[in-house]
Structure 1
């Protein structure tokens, strides 16, 4: 029996069998990497998925590979490196999944003001990671996922993200402090499971926080 996911991808593939860069969504890794490498993507592409294996050396992409993808709203680029000036790039991006990104952050002008979901699971991010300076302007951000980020000891200050509804820090084994949590009045889901180094308590639970779904123990 064909799954809905498979059926949906087949329908998208029918938009243009021969030219993946003319489709709205490019789910297959080989096709996605090819249109980036050959600069054959177009403004029709709204979603693109690249997923290198975690044990492979990180592949490097530059801002030029995204020059023609002006309507990109979903980007998955697991275990890749970025470089270059992203001014005018990725302006419509809503969802960024960048699992396995490295500690060294090279892109400039990486402004993601329309971002809603940020997934940096299994990455080398720290409080000082440069991307946080760019994420501050994302006034629509609702989800941050840092699952398995084992290098992070102290989170960046989340107080600027007052729209945040879901914060996932599961498996951040070195995490000791969460900054700005008390300002997140819209937060509904906080996952601190497997954060065994977390020594500071959550803010006092007021009526604004009674709706938290906290899936952790701080004992």
Structure 2
């Protein structure tokens, strides 16, 4: 149908033949196909296949698979009768063998330095196979089954220092429990990424101050985690700290201010956190996500928002005052939805000249908006539904980019000044507005009123 195809995926089809003409498809760079026994009868195809999906009932991988010189991805997941794997081409960069519950032997080696190895629930792997995986030198990752830390992590067995060829460690089931007892005793300078999310029994982290090159720490849904160690401030390379759903977390250490390379801080659903300490030194912060922190009361007095792009405090119902937002030239989204105790927006909001979306829906205590809001010439969406005490909007301003204005259920609002002529959507249902300004006739883009 075309000789210009670059990507062809026929996995899951009943195709049992590969046309000879495929050899002339000079642009074909990604060819994905399901395994069938007669595939070996099309040797010209073996040189162009990049992804191979094996049938779930297969018992062994044919040795001719290693002739696939461009094979990058081998999908063996749920091949529950597969007992061993043969040698593969060095081009292979991913083996997905999840749930191969009969797999025992790996009669092969892995020579691609970027390879990713997934052997979740392969509980019958012999020790030789496990050792092969753990000692493979890769910048990718490896996932193994079981609740025990592999022997190669035992610092006593290798002279007092933990050595691993991996820069990414992923622990599933309960394996993190044994592993964490080693962390505080090990040099972790090469560790870049740690994922402990959904470790629901994890109550505390040990001293990981030696992980000075750690960039990403995921602790999402660690619902028993009570505190972070103060050494978190020594992780000066940290870029992402995700604590979403850490519902038992009580306090954020003040040392977090020293994580000066932090780009993303997520505390959503940290129900017991009362105060966010100063983050004034985190000038590279791009996202500050504090949604559903139902007991959060106190925020820092100011935030250096030089690189901040998104700030979200949705459903933080006890927050009364926002920090002064300084140098917020890059702020695009400010979500204060259902901050029902918030008394006002800071005048400094006018410095956020690239703000595009502002949501103060359900801010029941706000009486008015600061006049500095007139500086927000990039603002396209202003949502204020349910601001039941809002009495008036600023006058003599022109928000040139504003195209969506929702004032529904602002029950004390009695008039609408002309704040933009570019509005496409205007909702004043549930307000006390009794007159529509004549100038609305000149709002040429208004299509939903």
TM band (smaller chain): 0.7 to 0.9
Structure 1 CA distance for aligned equivalents of residues 358 and 228 of structure 2: 37
SS at match of 1:86: helix
Offset from partner CA, 1:145-190 (integer Å, 9 cap, x none): 1011111234222333332111011121222221213652321111
1:81, CA displacement in angstroms? 3.6
Q: How does 1:59-138 map to 2 (within 5 A)?
A: 59-63=203-207, 66-77=208-219, 78-79=222-223, 80-82=225-227, 86=231, 89-99=234-244, 100=246, 102-105=249-252, 109-110=255-256, 111-123=258-270, 124-127=272-275, 129=276, 132-133=277-278, 135-138=279-282
Decide which moves more: 90-99 or 201-210: 201-210
- Are positions 1:162 and 2:309 aligned together? no
Unaligned segments of structure 1, at least 5 residues: none
TM-score by length of 1: 0.73
Unaligned segments of structure 2, at least 5 residues: 1-10, 12-52, 54-76, 78-92, 97-114, 118-132, 143-149, 154-163, 362-383, 388-449
SS at match of 1:35: helix
Structural RMSD (CA): 3.6
When Rg is computed on C-alpha atoms for both structures, the one with the higher figure is 2
CA shift in 2, pair 1:143/1:150, >3 Å? same
1:9, CA displacement in angstroms? 9.6
Decide which moves more: 9-18 or 33-42: 9-18
1:50, CA displacement in angstroms? 1.4
Decide which moves more: 80-89 or 140-149: 80-89
Contact 1:93–1:114 (Cα < 8 Å) also in 2:
yes
SS at match of 1:178: coil
Contact 1:182–1:203 (Cα < 8 Å) also in 2:
no
TM-score by length of 2: 0.39
Matched residues, number: 207
Structure 1 CA distance for aligned equivalents of residues 179 and 95 of structure 2: 17
Decide which moves more: 197-206 or 141-150: 197-206
What residue in structure 2 maps to residue 27 of structure 1?
170
Structure with larger RCO (C-alpha < 8 A, sep 6+) = 1
Higher share in strand: 1
